[in-house]
Amino acid sequence: MKITCEGEQEGGGLPLIGDTFPEVHVQTTRGKKVLPKDYEGKWFVLFSHPGDFTPVCTTEFVGFAKLNDEFKALNCELIGLSIDQIYAHIAWERWIEEHLGVAIPFPIIADNGRVATMLGMLHPKKGNNTVRAVFVVDAKGTIRLILYYPQEIGRKLDEIVRVVKALQTADAKRVAMPANWPDNELIGDRVIMPPPTDVEAANARLKDPTVECKDWWFCYKKLE
């Protein structure tokens, strides 16, 4: 999926899970960047917030800042975004550090509305404030997860760490994750194996001592 020089997406519509993240040139608190090009080889989480100097957003930024090292350990970078001027971002960062004792270690995009519009972050009844969107993008620039929260509700930030871990594990081990992984009420921290595609594979799986099954189509195992 591409964005033209004017910022319009070829073919129309919003980017979806499985699409390549559209190329965008942005101004951030850490200089100019090109997404996803500047993060090639790394995962990144792009998250929007309604506005600087607002209480819920402040709590989220403090939380993201404290989780920054966890994301980095997953080869994943954080990027904030709102439709505020770069000067407001800088002043807000300084306020958070001076008054709350937390330094913001990741860039914040100062958007003029173009990026927010192309990513579906704007609600027509909410003016120029973005909703709380989350885009998880993998090391190849592919969108792997999209979340949208209303302005009134702050995100559960541990969930965003969890989904990055889950996606990376699914890629590496070719497995799927149960609800609430790694704390599922039925199978604990085990991971789900893809369903077999023929009778022979189904029968073999039921005899595999490393695999546990509820039935031939519902099998799971410990991570190696």
**Catalytic site residue from 57, 76, 213, 219:** 57
- What is the distance between the alpha carbons of residues 138 and 75, in angstroms, rounded to a whole number? 10
- What is the distance between the alpha carbons of residues 78 and 46, in angstroms, rounded to a whole number? 6
57 catalytically annotated: yes
Amino acid at 185: E
Hey, is 75 helix, strand or coil? coil
Hey, is 68 helix, strand or coil? helix
Tokens coding 33: 């960047």
- What is the distance between the alpha carbons of residues 53 and 38, in angstroms, rounded to a whole number? 28
- For 168, other C-beta atoms within 10 Å of its C-beta total 17
CB burial readout 66-88, b (16+ within 10 A) else e: ebbeebeeeebbbbbbbbbeeeb
CA atoms within 13 A on the CB side of 94: 7
Q: Which residues are catalytic?
A: 57
